[in-house]
Amino acid sequence: MVNLSDSHTARLDDRLYKICTVIGRLLLAYLFFTQLWWKLPPTFGCGANFNFPKPAAQNYWDANGSSGLCYWMGLESIFASQPRQVLVADMRAGGLPNISVNITPVAQINGLLLDNLFIPQIRIFGWLVFIFEATVFVSLALGLFTRLGSLAAIGIIGQLYIGLANVPRPFEWEWTYGAILALSIVMLGLASGRIFGLDGWLRPRMAAAAERGNRLAKLGLMLS
């Protein structure tokens, strides 16, 4: 016999799963939408001269007239050489040692890439940053190839986590980036575009083409 209570619970669970997945996807899409407007091409919010902050006293800097993408890239560069701890659990109140992870070597590599590649070529890489973030917004908002959009979000937020999490001035709380990264990972696993998104409409059609040996369709299935 069918247990009506179990059947009702299963329907509620399915509805809750779908509602929460779509809400998470749309909120992440909207977050990326809000971040597009302070880095609009062709200046990416940097101003006509593309100035970057300059180091000053320890944990300080001279803004040097910088703004937009140049400002934040410059801060990543300035703090790249300083010791960096993340995933910090301050347990001194309980008489226990702190827990943390040292990402200084990774932050230094990030700084080298910024100083030698991204900052000198900001007029090119600014476009890439804007296009990547716009792609994440469109992908998640429409539910279109959402695993690809989620991977892009993980890459973008992961780089910001390495470059800015827990820098001292302005203090960038690591979980500002950590929570966004966690949500992006969840959206990757859920393949959220299959629920009230274009992926749900495209996948049966791609599956049919994939069975006929279409390699692009097989790739599309992996990314949707």
Q: Is residue 113 situated within a structural domain? A: yes
- The DSSP bridge pattern shows strands 54-55 and 61-62 to be antiparallel
What are residue 55's DSSP bridge partners?
Answer: 61
Sign, CA dihedral 46-66-134-149, equals positive
Sign, CA dihedral 79-84-87-89, equals negative
pTM for this structure? 0.92
Helix axis angle, 4-34 to 174-190, nearest 10°? 130
**Across the chain, what does the average pLDDT equal?**
93
The count of domains in the chain is 1
Q: Is residue 176 situated within a structural domain? A: yes
- Dist. CA 164–CA 173, nearest whole Å: 9
Task: Give the range of the structural domain holding residue 114, as residue numbers without chain letter.
Answer: 20-222
**Per-residue pLDDT tens over the stretch 178-211:** 999 999 999 999 999 999 999 999 999 999 999 9
- Dist. CA 191–CA 198, nearest whole Å: 11
pLDDT band at residue 62, thresholds of 50, 70 and 90? confident
Q: Is residue 151 situated within a structural domain? A: yes
The answer, yes or no, to whether residue 3 has pLDDT greater than 70, is no
The answer, yes or no, to whether residue 169 has pLDDT greater than 90, is no
Q: Is residue 12 situated within a structural domain? A: no
Q: Is residue 11 situated within a structural domain? A: no
Q: Is residue 4 situated within a structural domain? A: no
Residue 28 to residues 2, 78, 136, Cα–Cα distance (Å): 39, 29, 9
Q: Is residue 69 situated within a structural domain? A: yes
